[in-house]
Amino acid sequence: MSDVKQASLNRNIRSQKMPWKVYMRRYWTLYLLLILPLAFFLVFRYTPMSYILLAFKKNNILLPPWQVPWAKNNGFEWFIKAFQDRNFIAALRNTIFLNLLDLLIGTPMPIIMALILNELAFPKYKRVTQTVLYLPHFLSWVIISSISLRLFATNDGMINKLMGTSIPFLGTENNWRAMYIVLGIWKECGWNTIIYLAALTGISPELYEAAEVDGASRLQKIWHITLPGIRSTIIVLLIMNLGHILGSEFDRPFTLSNPLVVGASKTISIFVYERGIQGSQFSLSTAVGLFQSVVCVIFLLLSNSLAKKFGERGIW
Amino acid sequence: MSTVNNAASLPNKKLHDGMIKSRKTRVGDLVIAFVCLVAMLICLLPMVHVLACSLSSADALVRNDVFLWPKGWNLEAYKTVMTTEKYVRSLGWTAVLTVVCTLLSLFLTICTAYPLIYPNLRGGKVINFIILFTMYFSAGTIPSYILLNNIHFLNTPWALIVPNCISVFNVIIMRSFFYGVPDSLREAAEIDGAGPIRVLFRVYLPLSLPVIATLALFYAVGRWNGFSDALMYLKKSESEKYWPIQLLLYNVIKNSTQTSEQVAQEGFFNNGVSKTIQMATVMFATVPILIVYPWLQRYFVTGVTIGAVKG
C-alpha cells in the first residue's frame, strides 16, 4: 500500500525533487544499460577525433599525436600540400561533380516513380512492384559492379551484343560518369520512393474527390494536389542532399572504377584510402579528411537554415 | 415531342459521359501498369541474367550467347563454388559474422535508445548530444584506422565487428518507435513496482518487434554487404581467412580483369576464374538477402519512414 503511494507520489513530483540517492536506487539500471554504448562512442568515435591533431603534425603514428612535433607552416603544411596537389584537386572536382549530377538527376527520379506508383490502380500489383523495386537497394556495390561489367563491357557485354554495337559504356570518362549516375538511380530509386509514398498517404482524399467533381484530369490532380502535398518532403530531402555535396561514398566509385576512367572516378574517399592506408601518408590524408568533415558540417548547417528559410521544419 | 426527346437524352448523356470517363481512366491505368512493369523488368532482368549465366556451361558464356535463359544447363559452377575451400569458408564466415554483428548491434542499439526515452533521465541531454554529434561530425577514415592500429584490432575479426556496431541513425529509429509506446503503459508498470529493465522486457520489447525486425534487417544487410571496412582493415595476407564474401568477390573479379590496354581492346572480364563461377558466387552473395527482405517489407517501410521524419 505504501509502495503504491510512494510510486505515485514520485510520478507526480517527477525527478526534479527526487534526491540523488532515491533516484539512483530506482533508475541506476538505465545507466547500466548506457555504459557499453557510451564506452563505444568514447572509444570508437571520440578517441579518433583526438587523432585529428595529426593533420597538423609531422607524419608519425608511432608516437601519440600530441607528442609528435608540429608540421611546417604553423602546422598547416599538409593542407597547403593537399591544395597544391593536382590529384587532390581532381578528387575534389570529381566528388563535387558526381554529387551534383546525382543531386540533379537522381533526386527527381524517385519522386516520379512514387507518383507513378501512387497512380497505380491495382493494389496487389502495386505491392509486387514495390517489392521488386526495393530489390536493387539490397545489393552491394561489389555485386552491382560485377553485374554491370557483364552487362556493359565494350565487346562482349550483353547490352552491346543485343544492340549490335560496341559502345564503351564504362570505358570513357563521360560514359562512366553517366553509368555511375544510372547505376545509382537503379540501386536507390525504388528505395527512395518509400519516403515520398509515406508523404503521399498524408494527403486528404477529399481533395481528390473535390477535384474530380470539378472535372480535373489525372495530370491536373497530380500537379495541383499531389505535388504540393509532398512539397515539404521534397524540399527537406533536397536540402539534406545538398548538405552532403562534399560527402563521398567509397564503395560506389571504388568498385565501379577501372583503369581507363580514374580521371573521373577518383573521389576524395578514394584519394584518402590510397594516400593514407595504402601510401602511409597519414598526416596528409587526415588533413584531407578533416577538410572534408568540416566542409560537410558547414554545408549541413547552411542547408538546414536554408530549409528553415523555406518555412520547413529543418532536420533538427 | 422535342421536350420528351430532351428529357430522355439527358440521363443518357450523363451515363455516356461517365462511361467515357471511366474508359479513359482505365486506359491510363493500363499505361501506368505497363510503366511499372518496365520498371520491374529493369530491376529484375540483370539478376535473371546472372542466374542464367551461373547455370550455363562455361563455353556458352565464352561464346556469349546466354541472355535470360541458361545454355548448356548445368550446376557445375555451383558445385565448384561449394567445393572450393576459399569460397565456402568465406561464405560461412560471413554468415557467422552477420549473425554475431546483428545480435550485438541490436543489443547495443536497444541499450542506447531505451534510457533516452526517460524524460527524467539525469544527464540525458548531455548523453543525447554525445551520441547525436557523431552523426554530423566524424573524425574520418584515417583517425579511425590509426585507432584500430593502436588497439591492435587491425587484421583481426574485431575490426569487422566492433567499429560500426552502433548506427546512430538506427538508434534514432528505435528511439522514435519507443516514443510511440504510450507513457501510461510505462507508468502503470512502474506503479506496480517494475524497474526500468523489467519495463523494457515486459512493455517495450514485446511492442517493438516490428522495429527490431527492421533494424535486424538493416544491420544484417549492412554487414553482409560490408566491403570497405574489410578492404581497409584486413590488409595483411594472413588475415585473408577473415575476408567477407564481398571482399573475396571483389578480388576475384579484379584479378580477372586485365590491364588497361587489354580492357580497351577486349572489354572486361576475360581471364582468370571462369565467368560461370563468378556468377555463381554473385548468386551466393545475393540470394540470402533476396530471400529475406520481401517478408519484412511491411516493417522496414515503417522504419524508413520513422527514420526520415525524425532523422
Is residue B214 included in any domain, yes or no? yes
Asked whether the predicted pLDDT for residue B267 surpasses 50, the reply is no
Share of chain A above pLDDT 70, in %: 93
Nine-digit cell at B197?
A: 529493465
Q: Which chain A residues contact residue B243 at CB under 8 A?
A: none
Single-letter residue type at A217: S
Q: Which chain A residues contact residue B143 at CB under 8 A?
A: 48-52, 54, 286, 289
Most confident range (mean pLDDT) of A300-314, B103-117, B192-206 is B103-117
Nine-digit cell at B241?
A: 581467412
> Mutating which of B205, B259, B266, B268 best tests the A interface, going by the most A Cβ atoms within 10 A?
B268
Residues B103 and B207 in one domain: yes
Residues A84 and A148 in one domain: yes
pLDDT-derived band at B162, boundaries 50, 70, 90: very high
Is residue A97 included in any domain, yes or no? yes
A37-51: pLDDT as tens digits: 999 999 999 999 999
Q: What is the mean pLDDT of residues B153-163?
A: 93
pLDDT-derived band at A15, boundaries 50, 70, 90: very low
User: Total domain count for chain B?
Assistant: 2
Q: What is the mean pLDDT of residues A119-146?
A: 92
Q: What is the pLDDT of residue B257?
A: 59
Is residue B56 included in any domain, yes or no? yes
Dihedral of alpha carbons B79, B80, B81, B84, sign:
positive
Nine-digit cell at A192?
A: 527512395
Q: What is the pLDDT of residue B309?
A: 59
Portion 180-219 of B in contact with A at CB < 8 A = 187, 190-191, 193, 195-197
Residue B161: give the domain boundaries. 80-310
Residues B17 and B156 in one domain: no
Is residue A67 included in any domain, yes or no? no
Q: What is the mean pLDDT of residues B253-279?
A: 60
Single-letter residue type at B11: P
Answer yes or no: are the C-beta atoms of A104 and A84 closer than 8 Å: no
Q: What is the mean pLDDT of residues A252-272?
A: 92
Asked whether the predicted pLDDT for residue A156 surpasses 60, the reply is yes
Nine-digit cell at A161?
A: 551484343
Query: Dihedral angle at the C-alpha atoms of B53, B59, B65, B69, nearest 10 degrees?
Result: -40
Residues A151 and A45 in one domain: no
Residues A81 and A40: their CA atoms lie apart, in Å, by 34
Residues B299 and B217: their CA atoms lie apart, in Å, by 10
User: Total domain count for chain A?
Assistant: 2
Residues A242 and A94 in one domain: yes
Residues A81 and A197 in one domain: yes
Residues B44 and B191 in one domain: no
Is residue A104 included in any domain, yes or no? yes
Most confident range (mean pLDDT) of B60-69, B116-125, B299-308 is B116-125
Residues B4 and B191: their CA atoms lie apart, in Å, by 78
Residues A47 and A54: their CA atoms lie apart, in Å, by 13
Q: What is the mean pLDDT of residues A229-248?
A: 83
Asked whether the predicted pLDDT for residue B107 surpasses 50, the reply is yes
Secondary structure, 3-state, A168-199: CCCCCHHHHHHHHHHHHHHHHHHHHHHHHHHH
**ipTM of the shown complex:** 0.87
Is residue B158 included in any domain, yes or no? yes
Residues A261 and A289 in one domain: yes
Is residue A66 included in any domain, yes or no? no
B237-260: pLDDT as tens digits: 888 889 999 999 998 887 775 444
Is residue A12 included in any domain, yes or no? yes
Is residue A179 included in any domain, yes or no? yes
Length of chain A: 316
Q: What is the pLDDT of residue B126?
A: 94
Strand partners, A57: A70
Which letter does DSSP use for residue B237 in this model? G
Residues A14 and A148 in one domain: no
Is residue B291 included in any domain, yes or no? yes
Residues B179 and B271 in one domain: yes
Residues A20 and A102 in one domain: no
Is residue B68 included in any domain, yes or no? no
Residues A87 and A43 in one domain: no
pTM, to two decimals? 0.87
Residue A194: give the domain boundaries. 73-309
Q: Which chain A residues contact residue B214 at CB under 8 A?
A: none
